[in-house]
Amino acid sequence: MRKDYQCSSLEHAKMLPNPFEQFDNWFQQALKSEVMEANAMAIATADKFARPSLRMVLLKGFTSEQGFFFYTNYQSRKGKELLENPHASILFYWDVLERQIRIEGKVEKMTEAASNQYFQSRPKKSQIGAIASPQSSILASRKELDDQVEQLEQQYESSESIERPDYWGGFVLIPHTFEFWQGRSNRLHDRFQYRLESTNNKHWKIDRLAP
Ligand SMILES: Cc1cc2nc3c(=O)[nH]c(=O)nc-3n(C[C@H](O)[C@H](O)[C@H](O)COP(=O)(O)O)c2cc1C
């Protein structure tokens, strides 16, 4: 239970000035590595009383103009919390690379057009699953869910496309802070934080943090 990290190291001069490019660089390496699901990330939200909650979701895209995208049920616990308090934090941990990335920012609902486009790209069974599941509400039994899926499968049997329900769609996290962590020997890890200094010219201040 006491692993010494020796994979790699970080130097200020080699950190890319734009954190989205730095993220992309590490993400591409994670995709090529043995990491099981490189796009799996934890997302922390908090309710209006600042009580936190955390769960995994899948990153479905990112751009430096917009931010980091994921999809969920807007009426789930995370959905409700994000709609009442948009501050959130996402985290990636890629064990084989001995790397962690933390990203903090504000979340916005994706445009309806973008959510529709993604929903239409999903397999029919996933679309039905999204419609059928009242995510995070109490179910009386597994059967209740299975019956709902079966009923929807019959309803949409001959339909070519299924409309996205308004309670399911995307969120985009627009970051103001990133932290790239590389494990090093003897717990003397390398950490670099990027903070957005000016929203206008998108200038990011890069600082080394103590491990
Ligand atoms: C690897 C992994 C990926 C997941 N991806 C998603 C996802 O993209 N969207 C989603 O709504 N739930 C996803 N889940 C399920 C969530 O972790 C969670 O159980 C669900 O969204 C309900 O969370 P909530 O009650 O906090 O809203 C994923 C779970 C795991 C373990």
Q: What is the pLDDT of residue 85?
A: 97
How many C-beta atoms lie closer than 10 Å to residue 115's C-beta? Answer: 20
Distance, CA 15 to ligand 1 centroid (Å)? 31
101 CB-near residues (< 8 Å, 6+ apart): 23, 26, 91, 92, 178, 179, 180, 181
pLDDT digit string, tens, across residues 16-45: 999 999 999 999 999 999 999 999 999 999
**Listed range (70-74, 109-113, 131-135, 199-203) with the worst mean pLDDT:** 199-203
Q: What is the pLDDT of residue 200?
A: 77
How many C-beta atoms lie closer than 10 Å to residue 101's C-beta? Answer: 20
Average pLDDT rounded to a whole number, residues 146-170: 96
Distance, CA 199 to ligand 1 centroid (Å)? 31
Q: What is the mean pLDDT of the chain?
A: 96
Residue located nearest, by CA, to atom 19 of ligand 1 = 55
* Dist. CA 164–CA 204, nearest whole Å: 37
Residue located nearest, by CA, to atom 31 of ligand 1 = 56
* Dist. CA 131–CA 68, nearest whole Å: 23
Q: Where are the domains of the chain?
A: 12-122+165-209
Distance, CA 73 to ligand 1 centroid (Å)? 10
* Dist. CA 147–CA 110, nearest whole Å: 31
Average pLDDT rounded to a whole number, residues 132-140: 97
How many C-beta atoms lie closer than 10 Å to residue 17's C-beta? Answer: 10
Three-state secondary-structure class, residue 123: coil
Name the more confident of 161 and 69.
69
Query: Is residue 76 in contact with ligand 1, taking CB distance under 6 Å?
Result: yes
Does the pLDDT value for residue 201 go beyond 80? no
Percent of residues in the chain assigned helix, strand, coil, to nearest 5: 30, 35, 35
Query: Is residue 39 in contact with ligand 1, taking CB distance under 6 Å?
Result: no
Q: Which CATH number fits domain 12-122+165-209: 2.30.110.10, 3.40.190.10, 3.40.50.1370, 3.40.50.2300?
A: 2.30.110.10
- Sign, CA dihedral 130-132-136-141, equals negative
Q: What is the pLDDT of residue 160?
A: 87
Average pLDDT rounded to a whole number, residues 136-161: 96
Q: Is residue 71 within 8 Å of residue 169, measured between CB atoms?
A: yes
Query: Is residue 45 in contact with ligand 1, taking CB distance under 6 Å?
Result: no
Query: Bridge-partner residues for 86, per DSSP?
Result: none
Q: What is the pLDDT of residue 198?
A: 81
75, two tokens = 């009426």
Q: What is the pLDDT of residue 208?
A: 98
User: Distances from the Cα of 189 to the Cαs of 76, 98, 133, in angstroms?
Assistant: 37, 10, 42
